[in-house]
Amino acid sequence: MSVFDRDPDDQVQILDADGELVGDPPDLSDAELVDLYRYMRLARHFDERAVNLQRQGRMGTYPPLAGQEAAQVGSAFALDDGDWIAPSYREHAAVHVHGLDLSDILLYWMGHGAGGWDTGAHVLPAAVPIATQIPHTTGLALASKLRNDAAVACAYFGDGATSEGDFHEGLNMAGVFDVPAVFVCNNNGWAISVPRARQTASPTLAGKAAAYGIDGVQVDGMDPLATYEVTRAAVEKARTPGDRPRPTLIEAVQYRFGAHTTADDPSVYRDEDEVAEWRKRDPIPRLERFLRETGRLDDDRIDDIETDVRTQVTAAIERAEDTPRPDPDRMFADVYADPSAELRAQRAYLNRLRDRHGDDAFLKE
């Protein structure tokens, strides 16, 4: 049975929480399966270091991704280099798998205008406003269809985005024009402090696809093999017109272990017992157990991966912190083609302050 013939509440799963096979494994080589694990370990370590950088005052507010590695890495693995990703603000792992350098991700959260995107990697800038990247994805996919090329556009967003008008407009247009798009909803249970149950009365988010005449699939978002397999099927369907609608809405059910951002305190609205229960489904040890039991990983290989991961992240931090910061005057350069009177006044005011106090004064705590 095709994954698209399942009911929205019939969740796709290949690995259970103990790393045991409960479904057919995807057609991935041993090396690809280990790479899947390597990227997940890299994402977790990068996340830990990024939170520490923010706590040390070396970076601005940062949105942690721990717990979501399987959904991000597994889905991005299913994309071709020529496909497009339109991320929200938490898809650090997905955009890195798709070619964005880790240092560019760090630069974005350090406030550097050059950070966070790379057209060569076919990654749009991170979208902090909720759901605004969804119509962009439909537009990218429509352009691909009109050009008759093979590119698929993939959007990432959280469960809270399904309450926004942009979600409905983007998916409605995708269905009407039957565009090659995949919409990955990272349902991590919370939209900041608002639980999933307060977002919608719909039994599932995947079920919303029916309103737009497209396919909807719910997958265990903490199972990297299932997420890969569902996304691969959705990408293949999007790329090759057939009897089914080309767009797909994937609801990847998962949990964010940490805060919404480093400016958030989840203990105010979330029970720690709930967090502990979800940690039992941690995607990294889950995949590791499967790879160990099938002879694809052992202690030595895991030690090598850990060393490599730490080296990569350290190098990325050094590159980001060594990148010259742009002149503050640049923040006014690309707002309007012809600067407004108010913008000119703001620029002049900043320059007077810089002349009077020097730039070092703005760096003091």
Residues annotated catalytic, as ranges:
256, 260, 269
For residues 122 and 130, the answer to whether their CB atoms sit within 8 Å is: no
Strands (E), 214-283: 215-220, 248-253
Secondary structure (DSSP) of 305-361: HHHHHHHHHHHHHHHHHHSPPPPGGGGGTTS-SS--HHHHHHHHHHHHHHHHH-GGG
Task: Quote the longest CA-to-CA distance of the chain.
Answer: 71
- Residue 39: closest CA among 191, 295, 228, 319: 228
Question: What letters, b where the CB count within 10 A reaches 16 and e where it falls short, cover 298-337?
Answer: eeeebeebeeebeebbeebbeebeebeeeeeeeebeeeee
Half-sphere exposure of 356 (CA within 13 A, CB side): 6
Q: Report how many helices (DSSP H) and strands (DSSP E) the chain contains, helices first.
A: 11, 7
Distance CA 186, CA 171 (A): 16
Q: For residue 357, what are its two tokens?
A: 């106090």
Distance CA 134, CA 157 (A): 8
Total Cβ atoms within 10 A of residue 128: 13
